[in-house]
Structure 1
Amino acid sequence: MRSKITVAIFLLLTILIIGVVGFKITMELSWVDALYMTVITITTVGYREVEMPSDTAKLFIIFLILCSVVIVGYAVTVISEYLISRTSIKELREKRKQKNIDHMENHIIVCGYGRNGREAVEKLIDYHREFIIIEKDQQVIDDCNLDEDLFLRGNANEDEVLLKAGIERAATLITALPDDTDNLFTVLSARQLNSELKIISRASEETSYKKLKFAGANNVILPDKIGGEHMASLIVSPDLVEFWDNLSYGGDDGVNLEQVSFEQMFDDDRGCSIIDLNLRQITGCTIIGYKSPEGDYTVNPDPKMMLTKGSKIIVVGNTQQIQNLQKVYRINNEVI
C-alpha cells in the first residue's frame, strides 16, 4: 500500500510539473499564472483563464485534462483505500487487544510507564507474569521496545480506563505515575472498583504516604527515600548490602529467595510446625522469615512456630536448592 501511495504522489507531482512547464511555453505565462492554470485544469474547477489559449495551448490543455483525470482518479482511490484500511486495522487491533484483556484474570495492572513503571514491567517479564500497562502518552508507547498490545492508552484516573484494563478481575495494581495526586486518585478509583485488589503505589513526597495508605494502598514506595537509605547503608555496612544486592528474586539467572504459602504446602487446613516441615532436609533451603495471616513478619522464626492457613514462609538457598523447592511445592512467584 505504501508503494502505491508513493507512485500516486509521484504521478501527481509529475503532472503538476508538466502542466506548469507546458503553460509556461505554450502561452508564455509567468510561473505563478502557469501554476494557476495547471491547478484549475487538473482539478477541473474551471475558473477564468488568464488569457485566451492558442491552438497549440488548447491541444496541450486537452492532453493535460485527459492525463490528470486518470492520475487524479488513481491517486484519490489509492489514498482513500489507505486511510480506510488504516482506520479499519486500528479498530481491529483495538478490538483484539480489548478481547485479550477481557480474558485476563488475576493479572497485574501497571499505571504509568516512566522510570519506576519500566523497572516494574521488566521484573514482571522476568517473573513471566501477565500484565497490562496503562499509559496516556502515545509518544512513550511508540518509543518503547515492548509490544503495543501490552499497552492500554488512557488516563489511569478514569474509572472507564481501569474497567477496560480488567480492574475487577486483576490481582494487583501498581501505580507508578510521576504525580502523587494522580497516584492518589488512581488508588481511590481502583479500591472502589475492587475491594480485594492489592495496590502498590509510588510516592514522591513523604507527606503523601499516609494519604495513599488511607486511600487504600497496601504498600507505598518512596523511591528517593529508598535510594538514599541504600547509599547510606553502602557506607555503614557495604559488604552486607552488596551481598543482599547480589541475591536474585527471579528471572533467568536463577533465584536465591522464594516464598511458599500455606496453601502450596498443605492440601488441608491442619497446621504444622516449622521443624516438622523439615524443609532443609527435603530441599536444602533455609527458612529466614515468616508472614502471619494478619501480615506481620517474623525474622528467623522459632522452629516451633506453627504454620497456619493464610501464612507464608520466606526461604533462602542457592539456585539448585530453590529449584528443588519449586519442584516440591507449587511455586508461582506470588507477591510477598
Structure 2
Amino acid sequence: MLKQLNLSRLYLALGLLVFSFAVGVAGFMGIEHYPLVDAFYMTVITASTVGFGEVHPLSDLGRLFTSFYILFNLLVVAYLVSVLTTYIFDGELRHLFRMIRADQEIRSFHDHVIVCGFGRNGYKAYDELRHSGTRAVVVEQDQTLLNAANEASRTQIPAVFGDATSEATLRQAGIERARALITALPKDADNVFVALTARELNPNLTIIARASARSSVSKLISAGANSVVMPDEIGGSHMANLIIRPEVIKFLDMISGLDPNKLRLEELPYNELKPTLRGHSIRELDVRSRTGATIIALRRGESGDLEVSPAADYRTAAGDVLLVLGNEAQIQALHQQFK
C-alpha cells in the first residue's frame, strides 16, 4: 500500500490548484459575466501570470478580484513547485515508483508470510524467512525502519505501509493468499487485535504472535494465534543456561544462526520425497552417508507425535515429516538427492 503521508502534500497541492481554478472561473463568470470559455481562459492567463490582455475590460470589482486572485495563486504555485521539487530532487518520486512496483509485486504473491512490525523481532523474523527462500511481506508504519533495511540489504523489501491492526492493510498484504502471519508489534493489545482480524480473514492461516506479558499469552491463543513467543523470557533463560549448560546453548546457537558455524534444521516431508524413495526405511534412505546431514526426529503423519532419534528400520509413510540437521552444504545436498 502506498503510504498516505508520502502523497498527502502532493494531493494538497493539486487540490489547491483545482480549487484555485474553480474560484477563478466562478469569479470571472459571476463578476464580469464572462462565458465559461472566456472565464476559463482568463483564469489560466491570470494564474500563470503570462501577461496576455483581458478578454473584455474589467470593472473596478473585477480588477480588485483579479489582484487578490493573482496574490493567492502566487502562493499556490510556489507551494506546488516546492512539492514537485521535493518529489523530483529529494528522491520522493523515485521512492513512490518503488512503492508502486512493490504493491504490484505483493498482489502476485501466494503462499507467503506476512510480518507485522519491523522492529528487532520483526526484522530478525523477516531475515530468517528471506534466507530460507520464503516469500515475506512486511507491514510497518515507520518508513525509516524500512528505508534503513533497504539500504543495508541493497534490496527492495516488499512492504505495506500502514496500521497492521487495520483490516484494509492486511488485505493489501494479501492476507487471504498467505499461509502464515507473524505479528511482532510492541504492544500486546495490538498483537491480539492483529491475530483476531487475521484469523477472521483467513481461517487456515498459521499465526505466530509476540507477547511481552505472560498474561497476554492466553488472550493471543483465544484470539487465534497458533503459537506465542515471549522474547524477554527466552532471552533471560538463554543467559542463565549459558552458565548452567553452556555447551548445549552453544549447540542451539549453531542451529539458530547465532554461531559462525551455522547449522540448519530442515524439514523433509514425505510428499516432497522423490517417488522412488517413498516408503523406504530410514536405514535405506541412508541420509547420513549420502549427504552428511543427520535425521534427528520424525513427526508421524498418523498420530502427529514427535519422535526423537527414530528407529532405523522405520519406514516412512504418508504425512510423515523427517527433521534433518546439517550445515548449509549438507542441506543443499539433501535437497538435490532426496527432494
Q: Report how far residue 277 of structure 1 moved.
A: 2.5
User: Map of 1:173-192 to 2, 5 A cutoff?
Assistant: 173-192=181-200
Is 1:133 paired with 2:138? yes
Q: Equivalent residue of 2:275, what SS?
A: coil
Q: Report how far residue 231 of structure 1 moved.
A: 1.4
User: Map of 1:16-55 to 2, 5 A cutoff?
Assistant: none
Equivalent residue for 1:243?
A: 251
Output the amino acid matched with 1:316.
L
Equivalent residue for 1:290?
A: 298
Segments of structure 2 that go 5 or more residues without pairing to the other structure are: 1-48, 50-73
User: Map of 1:138-157 to 2, 5 A cutoff?
Assistant: 138-146=143-151, 150-157=158-165
Question: Does the CA contact (< 8 Å) of 2:298 and 2:320 recur in 1?
Answer: yes
**Separation in 2 of the partners of 1:220 and 1:87?**
38
Distance 1:269 1:188, change over 3 A: farther
Is 1:324 paired with 2:329? no
Question: Does the CA contact (< 8 Å) of 2:254 and 2:262 recur in 1?
Answer: no
Is 1:312 paired with 2:321? yes
User: Map of 1:107-126 to 2, 5 A cutoff?
Assistant: 107-126=112-131
Which entry has the higher C-alpha Rg, 1 or 2?
A: 1
Is 1:201 paired with 2:193? no
Equivalent residue for 1:301?
A: 310
Q: Equivalent residue of 2:248, what SS?
A: helix
Distance 1:110 1:309, change over 3 A: same
Question: Does the CA contact (< 8 Å) of 2:115 and 2:136 recur in 1?
Answer: yes
Q: Report how far residue 268 of structure 1 moved.
A: 8.7
The TM-score with structure 1 as length reference comes to 0.67
Q: Report how far residue 175 of structure 1 moved.
A: 0.5
Question: Does the CA contact (< 8 Å) of 1:126 and 1:251 recur in 2?
Answer: no
Output the amino acid matched with 1:329.
F
Output the amino acid matched with 2:127.
E
**Separation in 1 of the partners of 2:109 and 2:103?**
10
Q: Report how far residue 220 of structure 1 moved.
A: 1.1
Output the amino acid matched with 2:179.
A
Distance 1:262 1:77, change over 3 A: closer
Distance 1:195 1:249, change over 3 A: farther
Q: Report how far residue 195 of structure 1 moved.
A: 1.7
**Separation in 1 of the partners of 2:139 and 2:106?**
12
Segments of structure 1 that go 5 or more residues without pairing to the other structure are: 1-43, 45-70, 331-336
Question: Does the CA contact (< 8 Å) of 2:296 and 2:324 recur in 1?
Answer: yes
Question: Does the CA contact (< 8 Å) of 1:269 and 1:308 recur in 2?
Answer: no
Q: Report how far residue 289 of structure 1 moved.
A: 0.9
What's the CA shift string for 1:277-314, capped at 9, x where partnerless? 23223323221111233643221122233422222111
**Separation in 2 of the partners of 1:303 and 1:319?**
24
What's the CA shift string for 1:81-112, capped at 9, x where partnerless? 54787997676554432211101111111100
Q: Equivalent residue of 1:313, what SS?
A: strand
1:164 to 165, 172, 175: 172
The TM-score with structure 2 as length reference comes to 0.66
Q: Which shows bigger deviation, 173-182 or 81-90?
A: 81-90
What's the CA shift string for 1:194-238, capped at 9, x where partnerless? 122221111111122222222222221111111121112112111
Distance 1:320 1:128, change over 3 A: closer
Equivalent residue for 1:105?
A: 110
**Separation in 2 of the partners of 1:76 and 1:214?**
51
Distance 1:313 1:135, change over 3 A: same
Q: Report how far residue 274 of structure 1 moved.
A: 2.3
Output the amino acid matched with 1:244.
L
What's the CA shift string for 1:294-335, capped at 9, x where partnerless? 6432211222334222221112234443332121133xxxxx
Aligned-residue sequence identity (percent) comes to 38
What's the CA shift string for 1:244-269, capped at 9, x where partnerless? 21236699976443221111114399
Distance 1:252 1:81, change over 3 A: same
Equivalent residue for 1:223?
A: 231
Output the amino acid matched with 1:258.
E
Output the amino acid matched with 2:220.
L
Question: Does the CA contact (< 8 Å) of 2:280 and 2:316 recur in 1?
Answer: yes
What's the CA shift string for 1:3-61, capped at 9, x where partnerless? xxxxxxxxxxxxxxxxxxxxxxxxxxxxxxxxxxxxxxxxx9xxxxxxxxxxxxxxxxx
Q: Report how far residue 75 of structure 1 moved.
A: 6.2
Question: Does the CA contact (< 8 Å) of 2:115 and 2:182 recur in 1?
Answer: yes
